[in-house]
Structures are given as structure tokens and as C-alpha cells.
Chains A and B, each alone.
Chain A
């Protein structure tokens, strides 16, 4: 099997017509290929998220990870950029939707695209994946332990996030949710509330909660990493995207 791929930093048009940075990974075969927009976690556009992006290309998908903090910190190291973005209140929802929409358009326009685009996000990106799927025409969405889809954030937080569970009715595509049973953001009760809202809205979805895992169990460079949950989670992702994005 021909398995060559390449990965590189590109510029593409994001929210408001801004030219922003992204990390593109793609198989070099003839296609046609499905595509994935990868939404990085709150600690930023880091080496581990780029590795995740390359993993999608290894599995046959075009994958683009927008640097959501590019405007605040062009050229800065990912940790400095994350600190700057955090201090300024994080990524506004409207800008997130514009950037993911721009990334999806870039992927669809690639000659080897099959026209299908999914989204996946981790941590704060899990909420943003749900938000993108409720705001844009997409083909599959994955929410990895996104906090504050359900539940009001604590008072006084500087980030511009609020609950968005009411957007469940606007979801444009099937949703896969991967959660840690020990996580408190989102808590098991909040995951159950989101599940209920999606059932009521008649939206196709499947949720998996892993015992012994908390927040960020996919993060290989952190103590929160739980190999069994992460490996099973990856299998769930390949199965889900295989049904909705491949071919």
C-alpha cells in the first residue's frame, strides 16, 4: 500500500478574511479523500496536536489544524501564545466558527478532496467542535471532553464561553462524544444532559465514557494520558469517520 504523506505549515483564509496559519497533513495518494479540521486544545497549537493532525493523514484523511491563537501571537511558541490568548479572554465563538469554516473550505477545494469534511476538537476544542457542527455544514463531528457545552462557567472567568446546548437542534451532522468518567468539566451529569438534548432534537450521536479516565486522556505528554481509553477512542474515531467521511 502506498503510504507517503506530507505535512507543512500553510496560510489560509479564516474568519473575517484574515490570513491565518494552519498545519496541513495529507496523504500523497490519488484520493479522493475525506478531510478533518482539527481543533487544538486550550494549551495551544502544539507539537502533540500536530502529531494528531499527522495521524489523520496516516489514516487517509486530509487534515488541517488552524492556529486559533495566530492573531494574538503570530510566530510565538505555542505555550506563550496560549498564555497570551488566555489573558485576552480566549477565542470568541464567532471567530472560531469563521476559522473552522475557512479551514473546511480550504480542504474541500483541494483536488483530492471527496467533498466531505469532519471536525474534531479536544478540551476547549471539544466545545468548539460542537459549536462548529451546529454552525456550519459538516459531515461528522467529534467532541473530546469539551467543557461548557452544558453548564454555566464559574462567575468571573475571563473567557468568552457560555453554554451552547441549545444549539443541539442546529447540528448539521452526526456527533461522536468521547469522555472520561472521572472528568468534572464536563461531568458525567453534563454529558448525560447533552445526550438528552441530542435525543430530544433527534440528532444522530454516540457517546462513550471511559472509567478510570478524566479530562485530557488523549494527551500523550501529560499525566492525564490513559492509554486504554485513548486507544479505544482512536478506534471509535476511525470507525465513525470511516462511516461518515471516507469514500
Chain B
């Protein structure tokens, strides 16, 4: 199915796309058909800068298990950072 569900958030940081590094301003997160991953549905994340056009995009397509593991790893890395660093 096409879920049509999309979480959108503002982000600050940089991403490396096909034309090199660029400044990120937005991310979208959605569970839908992947373009490339060999699964019927994946958790897809697009890191974007719409002001620089549609090609300013870093995309990942993860299985649900991988996506959950990634979310936990991000939280874990942030939680273990020395006080005052983040």
C-alpha cells in the first residue's frame, strides 16, 4: 500500500548528497514502498533542503527493525555523551 503518512520536521545540520555536502533544513519520515530496498515496506527518511531543489536530498530506506535499532542507537549515543556536550 501507499501509506501517504509523512512526518515532517525542521532539522539543522549537513548532509552529503550526489553533488557533495549541503545544508539540511528539513527531514521527512514515512513508512511506505521503498524505491530500492528489497522489501515491500520500509521506514524511509529523506534529509532535505527544499530551497536547493529536489536533488538536495539524502535518502535512506530501512527495514522496521533497522529503523528501531537506529533510533535506539541515536538515543544511546546522545545519552552517553559527556555532560555539557549536547
B interface residues with partner A (beta carbon < 8 Å) = 1-6, 8, 26, 28, 30, 32-33, 35, 38-40, 46, 48, 50, 53-55, 57, 59
Residue of B nearest to A127 (CB): B2
Q: How many residues of A contact B (CB 8 A)?
A: 35
Chain B residues with CB under 8 Å of A80's CB are 54-55, 57
Q: List 6 A–B pairs whose Cβ atoms lie within 8 Å, in order of A's numbering.
A: A79-B35, A81-B54, A184-B1, A185-B2, A215-B1, A223-B39
Given contacts A43-B35, A76-B54, contact A87 B46 (CB under 8 A): yes
Q: Which one of B8, B39, B46, B54 lies within 8 Å of A72 (CB-CB)?
A: B54
Residue of B nearest to A78 (CB): B35
Given contacts A184-B1, A223-B40, contact A84 B50 (CB under 8 A): yes
Contact status A157-B6, CB under 8 Å: yes
User: Which of A93-125 touch B at CB < 8 Å?
Assistant: 123-124
Contact status B33-A43, CB under 8 Å: yes
Contact status A158-B6, CB under 8 Å: yes
Bound CA–CA A223/B39 (angstroms): 6
Q: Does A244 contact B (CB under 8 A)?
A: no
Chain B residues with CB under 8 Å of A185's CB are 1-3
Q: Does A175 contact B (CB under 8 A)?
A: no
A218 to chain B, nearest CB (A): 13
